Amino acid sequence: MFDRILVANRGEIAARVIRTCKKMGIHTIAVYSEADEGAPHTQLADEAHLIGPAHVAESYLNIQKIIEVAEETGADAIHPGYGLLSENAEFVEEVENADIVFIGPRSEVMQLMGDKVDAREFAQAANVPVVPGSDGPVAGEDEAVAFAEEFGYPVLVKAAAGGGGIGMKVATNEKKLRKAVKACQRRGKSAFGDDTVYIERYIENPRHIEVQVLADNDGNSLHFFERECSVQRRHQKVIEEAPSPFVEKHEGEGLRQRMTTAALALVERADYTNAGTVEFIVDKDANFYFIEMNTRLQVEHCVTEEITGVDLVEQQIRIAYGESLEITQDDLSIDGHAIECRIYAENPDKRFMPAPGKIGDYSEPAGQGIRVDSGVTANFDVTPYYDPMVAKVIAHGKDRTQAIKRMREALENYVIKELTTNIDMHLDVLRDEDFLSGGVHTGWLESR
């Protein structure tokens, strides 16, 4: 097994990865920016090293500095967590060139799935359903308009290199479509250095349902059922749960079987290794369509761990070390229900704008079925430099009703003084009849 792993991330995910490494007896190396000096993840690790100023481009995205620290500390492997460099194929190549193991998929597969146009074409070749869309990038406004005239409005324009809702616009007529193409090209260029866009039919009020997968280097692959991530704001997830109440409702129609089979078909065709998530949108008639594959650990992996009892980070590490999966598909089953609430330093009443600040008193909830993955403590400064997520609260119960009840009790007992958070919003959602009945979609939260 690896002796030393460098965790190239910060906050709760760095702390979460470090905990699993410690459980496995692996020496951990944390990195931090000047803004994160003394942060919990640095205290938890066996050693911690400064990699640059607060600005993310000069620290957590500084590939050469991270590799330099890895070499100086004798790291055998690097775990990227999620976000930051976790899906950066250039980083993977540099890690491999330094003769260090990257805990994740190969760079060429990451590059393939990172381009939405290429990934879409690849999914079609694997007979995975995709939303009707352009056959590759659109050259400009006129080509986009021609597509919309053939397939009808509304349509969705996407930056090919986008992610997290960045570079996406819905258009309901020609005038708005022309504006959307220009806007997405500009946004793609500024955010990703790539102004390529494509277009597809817009599925109104869809659900966002995804399948967690694992694959080893010996051709073995598994699915870990599905997660529902339909409660979103600005195309970003806020509440996730497993299993999906919508899939459960349509289980008699074989929806879960069809979705998981499609996800594994993509994994096997790509010769994918390590952890990944195949994401789908699902319409009201239970038709599902591939949207993208995330070639990393997801923020919401915790709910899958809770219903399956599998430590996905441990599996990532073992696969990267070259071990074969010891779990078989028959070993996996769904145990109860789990819900995750992402706790952000943000103001839901001001269009979810980030609300950085210093935490006063701080106390995390506990109790049966409650798990908190956090990266903060009392007196911790939530700075404007990074994503404002403070923690994730996960509640597991024998069924969805119990999981929701436990989550409400946990959030009511979560103390985060002197910081504006979205906890009250979560409690409102958890009492809402639409949510309780499972009747939500990706635009539901922002339309309330």
pLDDT at 115: 84
pLDDT at 163: 66
- In this structure, which amino acid lies at residue 15? A
The Cα 192–Cα 163 span in angstroms is 10
Average pLDDT over residues 191-216: 92
Backbone angles phi, psi at 417, to 5 degrees: -80, 150
**For residue 79, what pLDDT band results from cuts at 50, 70 and 90?**
very high
Domains of the chain, start order? 4-103 (3.40.50.20), 132-201 (3.30.1490.20), 207-447 (3.30.470.20)
For residue 296, indicate whether it is catalytic.
Answer: yes
pLDDT at 164: 63
**For residue 160, what pLDDT band results from cuts at 50, 70 and 90?**
confident
264: left (phi over 0), alpha (psi -120 to 50) or beta: alpha
Element housing 165 (H / E): none
Contacts of 301 (CB under 8 A, 6+ apart): 212, 275, 312
369: left (phi over 0), alpha (psi -120 to 50) or beta: left
- Among the listed residues 10, 201, 227, 296, the single catalytic one is 296
- Report in angstroms the alpha-carbon separations of 157 from 102, 198, 202, 230, 445: 33, 6, 9, 20, 22
pLDDT at 314: 98
**For residue 133, what pLDDT band results from cuts at 50, 70 and 90?**
confident
Sheet with 197-201, edge to edge strand ranges: 168-171, 155-159, 197-201
Average pLDDT over residues 388-393: 97
Contact between 373 and 14 (Cβ < 8 Å): no
pLDDT at 70: 98
pLDDT digit string, tens, across residues 211-260: 999 999 999 999 999 999 999 998 889 999 999 999 999 988 899 999 99
* Confidence check: pLDDT of 129 > 90: yes
* Confidence check: pLDDT of 68 > 80: yes
* Confidence check: pLDDT of 351 > 70: yes
pLDDT digit string, tens, across residues 279-305: 999 999 999 999 999 999 999 999 999
* Confidence check: pLDDT of 331 > 70: yes
pLDDT at 33: 98
Mean residue pLDDT of the chain comes to 95
**For residue 191, what pLDDT band results from cuts at 50, 70 and 90?**
confident
The Cα 414–Cα 420 span in angstroms is 13
Average pLDDT over residues 49-67: 97
pLDDT digit string, tens, across residues 84-121: 999 999 999 999 999 999 999 999 999 999 887 789 88
Contact between 237 and 389 (Cβ < 8 Å): no
Buried-exposed string 193-231: b where 16+ CB fall within 10 A, e elsewhere:
ebbbbbbbbbbeebbbbbbbbbbbbeebbbbbbbbbbbb
In degrees, rounded to 5, the angle at the alpha carbon of residue 159 between the alpha carbons of residues 154 and 165 is 75
pLDDT digit string, tens, across residues 28-47: 999 999 999 999 999 999 99
- pTM for this structure? 0.91
